[in-house]
Structure 1
Amino acid sequence: MLNSFRRASLTIGVLAVVFGPYSIASAEADAKPEKSFSVVLLPDTQNYSEKYPDTYVAQTLWIRERRQDDNIKFVIHLGDIVQTSTKEPEWENADRAMQLLDGVVPYSIAPGNHDMTVRSRDSTLYNKYFSPSRFVDRQWYGGHMGETNENNFCFFEACGLKFMILNLEFAPRDETLEWAAGVTRRYPHHRVIVATHCYMRPSKRDTACATSYQVAGNSGEEMWQKFIRKQPNVFLVVSGHVLGVGLQTSINDAGGKVLEMLTDYQGLPNGGDGWLRSLQFVPGDNKIHVETYSPLLDKYNNDPKETFSIDYEMTVAKQKAD
């Protein structure tokens, strides 16, 4: 396990540093051959947007400060950005925190049930603050479904490997899964991470994402059966929504392993205590090292369910161009 994480300082001096331009030394360091890289999971921030905005800022500031030392390639927000989708001050708090990543660390969002009016799927304020226009000029942003940004896809490359992040709405509708399948097939040589707010429970796939909220859509189990198991290049599914953590490995129709991970801390003190997850990919070892850290508490969670390693094959022939 790497123990390189440091607490994000909120002092004015540090803010001046992180908002400054890259130094020549940093540029030279970035030019060195990569041996590992990280993807950060930012789960359920609704309590921070509602009551603890400084904690949200501490999370994104920590990511910004650690982007080079940890070679953070991407941040995936797992949804429930806010507590109440119709309360604009919460969106303003979320916007303020996420702005720390704009133009610095690529990130995407898989909106949750709290980010829309569930039965009508009204996501007006989500699309005011996180519409396609916020991302469309970013080189890593791939596109979106329809005119809004509830469903979108993004790219990054690291260690000679190509990845796609496919972000899907809460309880994706059948037409959304059809769109997602088309996007995945369009990039057969990318390793695909699917992010959706409701998919896993601590020990199994969720079966009530849609029915619990009386919305037309699919549960985690239905997503697996209709979409994920049929896509040979999907290797990881990440979700929040359900308090707790969980990990299971399933086998898709092509015989490949699919890692399914739950990460959600919203029920802990202080709205979640600022916990987030870092997935460090080490291709040379065919490992993903998972660490859970809180910038608010400045400590790791060393429970075996929070700090562990996963086997994942990455030492393969050079990927083809799509």
Structure 2
Amino acid sequence: MGWSMPEKLGPNRRSFLRNAGLAGVGATALSTLGAVAPAEANEDARPSGRWNPDTESKQFTLAVMPDTQYLYWGSQNSINPEPQEASFRYVIANSGTPNNNIVFMAHLGDLTQDGDATSFQAVDKAFKVVDNANVAYSVLAGNHDVSGDDTRGTTPYLQTMGPQRFKRQKSFLGSDASGYNTAHVFRAAGREWLLLALDWRTSAAGFAWANQVIKAHRNMPVILTCHEIVAPTYGDEVYPYESGDPENNAVLSDYGQTVWDELIKDNDQIFLTLNGHYWPSGRTTKKNSAGNDVHLHITNYQNRYMSGGGMLRLYHFDLDRNTIDVETISPWILEKDPAERNRLEVLEARLTTSVDRFAVPVDFEKRFAGFIPVPVRPARPASKVLVPGTLAYWRFDGGGKDGSPFTASQRVRDLSGHGNDLTLLSVPGSAADALTWSADHHPDQPGHASLRFVGGKNPLHGAYLTTASRAPLNTETFKSGYTIEAFVKIPRDWDSGNNGNMPVLSRWGEAGNAGKYGKNTDPKEPVAQLMTTNNGREVQFNCYPLNQTYPTTNWSHGLAEDQWWHIAVVNDGHHTKLYVESALVADNPSTDSIGITSLGLTWLLGGHEYGGAIDNVFHGWIGDVRIVNRALRLEEFLTK
């Protein structure tokens, strides 16, 4: 998903169904998490636009607002809410939009410079912009808002921004007895996420409460916000244009170590922490007690132009790409006509240094597997995938134990019932375990097994499978079209010199012997071959059709190693298209291509013939393989 920002902020024109699944979650939890005071009436400062996030999309954004303290210094008669209000308008306008889909906003504390009641009166008025739009958000107290720990009793902060403010929010879960520590649940990517907003200094009772909240919601990923956790290890507290190592330029502060020991370390659900207080911004990653990564980030811009101008740090979660893309913007500046911005506004509209714009790779399923078990798609019986026209279907879940050798006495039955069974052939001198049974498989593969080939060409070695000399598939010419599907995984030790142009599936018979000639023709190569190529592990399907004397060739992009891929070759009777993971590749020829030439010879799984002799053997895993005598639709693929 690409992230872009409009220079002019406009209303959200998309309409999404608002999730109602969290209705009542706060009421259910409040009886155990602490009571709240009556809600205040927020009738003024109504914004334009609607708060309407898409809670099911796999792409969503958490908006983070750090220290805005210099905008609210009531004791000095210095109140300047416009930058923050512009950010609030931005959050509202960008809920549910394709490029942002802001689902929650978290303030990191130091709302004011002096903690004065006059400052909080102005803060109260500004926050009514988001209150009246029903924005899901959290706040917490910083050291400029309060003093001491969360046992301090009432303060202007608590009277203004305490739990009573959130009673109407569906995302509000509750607070501890002090009111300074709050819990929020927002829905995004089709699941609930727990966000804890902890006080500047949390007491033992506050930590006990936070631990209990996490324990009570043991299947939710947790984002922890606090005013202070990590501090930068670089810079002179001036604009941070250089940061050394941008991925490891922060360290736990003394109090941050307490937060780590009391709350983060032993709660595997906490995967991301966000704090302000210090500058320049930075980040680091630590391993928790379960051995998993916790990403700890500082974001704070109070030292920049206009006290940071109400800047927003946007955490763009993309669960399809397993990435959090992070960017930092000033909506207050972006609202202005670019031609009318002053020099500092031009520089500050978007921050693009390595500490302000970066990506965090997170394998969400793997990272959350300890508390959200990954559902495993069950194996499907062959009868469920024997679509009309299936000529051969091979799978490997009925063979030997994981890691055991494939022996000469074993065979792979053709589950289509057409008798195209596979038997073993080995390059002389190859190891006994050159071909083994494996439990590894593509997550969407019908059969939960594969074969592990250990082959190569320099020197030639390995074992492969072949149809019998009289198998019906040998003479098939596919005049009306075909679909060939295979699941493959390339290992990390793949080498272009030894494993380049390695075969997944090929048809014995030299092109020259079949009367083929002309452009791109190699008379010694097979009449059909599905393989991975020499340089970038691209998939190539090279076929000599019935109606041409020269081949047609389809090419894919490169396949990453150590990852399962589904490959499909589909011919509709005239044109051939190649798909990887059901996605059409770019290089598909428009040449008229009817059928596949046959010399009545065998098919090879994992083996390749050149000039009448085996010259290469596959290296990696091959899962289910299916051959059908017609073009399949995407919804008919083995992955569906």
Whether TM-score is above 0.5 comes out as: yes
1:89 aligns with 2:125: no
Which of 173, 192, 204 matches 2:203? 173
Cα distance, 1:164 vs structure 2: 0.3
More deviation, 238-247/51-60: 51-60
Cα distance, 1:19 vs structure 2: 3.1
Aligned to 1:13: none
After superposition, the Cα gap between the structure-2 partners of 1:259 and 1:21, relative to the gap in structure 1 and judged at 3 Å, is: closer
Which of 275, 279, 283 matches 1:243? 279
What is the 5 A alignment of 1:78-157?
78-85=108-115, 87-102=116-131, 103-118=133-148, 121=152, 123-146=154-177, 148-157=178-187
Aligned to 2:292: 256
> Given residue 142 of structure 1, which amino acid in structure 2 is its aligned partner?
L
Tell which structure's C-alpha radius of gyration is larger: 2
Secondary structure of the residue that 2:352 maps to in structure 1? coil
TM-superposition CA deviations, 1:57-109 (whole Å, max 9, x none): 11212211222212111100000011111x22211221122111114320001
1:307 aligns with 2:357: yes
CA–CA distance in structure 2, aligned partners of residues 6 and 291 of structure 1: 15
Q: Tell me if structure 1 keeps the 8 A contact 2:54–2:188.
A: no
1:62 aligns with 2:98: no
CA–CA distance in structure 2, aligned partners of residues 77 and 171 of structure 1: 16
Ranges in structure 2 where 5+ consecutive residues have no aligned partner: 11-44, 233-248, 335-348, 374-640
Q: Tell me if structure 1 keeps the 8 A contact 2:196–2:225.
A: yes
1:273 aligns with 2:309: yes
Secondary structure of the residue that 1:99 maps to in structure 2? helix
Aligned to 1:198: 228
TM-superposition CA deviations, 1:226-261 (whole Å, max 9, x none): 221100111011000012211111111011111100
Cα distance, 1:21 vs structure 2: 6.1
Aligned to 1:216: none
Aligned to 2:64: 41
Secondary structure of the residue that 1:279 maps to in structure 2? strand
CA–CA distance in structure 2, aligned partners of residues 223 and 131 of structure 1: 22
Aligned to 2:30: none
Larger helix proportion of the pair: 1
Secondary structure of the residue that 1:236 maps to in structure 2? strand
TM-score by length of 1: 0.84
What is the 5 A alignment of 1:155-166?
155-166=185-196
Secondary structure of the residue that 2:251 maps to in structure 1? coil
Aligned to 2:4: 3
CA–CA distance in structure 2, aligned partners of residues 40 and 262 of structure 1: 14
1:207 aligns with 2:253: yes
CA–CA distance in structure 1, aligned partners of residues 107 and 50 of structure 2: 25
After superposition, the Cα gap between the structure-2 partners of 1:21 and 1:227, relative to the gap in structure 1 and judged at 3 Å, is: closer
Q: Which has the higher contact order (CA 8 A, sep 6+)?
A: 1
How many residues align structurally? Answer: 297
Aligned to 1:53: 81
TM-superposition CA deviations, 1:179-231 (whole Å, max 9, x none): 111111111110000111011112333434xxxxxxxxxx0012112221100
After superposition, the Cα gap between the structure-2 partners of 1:222 and 1:245, relative to the gap in structure 1 and judged at 3 Å, is: same
> Given residue 208 of structure 2, which amino acid in structure 1 is its aligned partner?
E
RMSD: 2.5
> Given residue 58 of structure 1, which amino acid in structure 2 is its aligned partner?
A
CA–CA distance in structure 2, aligned partners of residues 83 and 199 of structure 1: 20
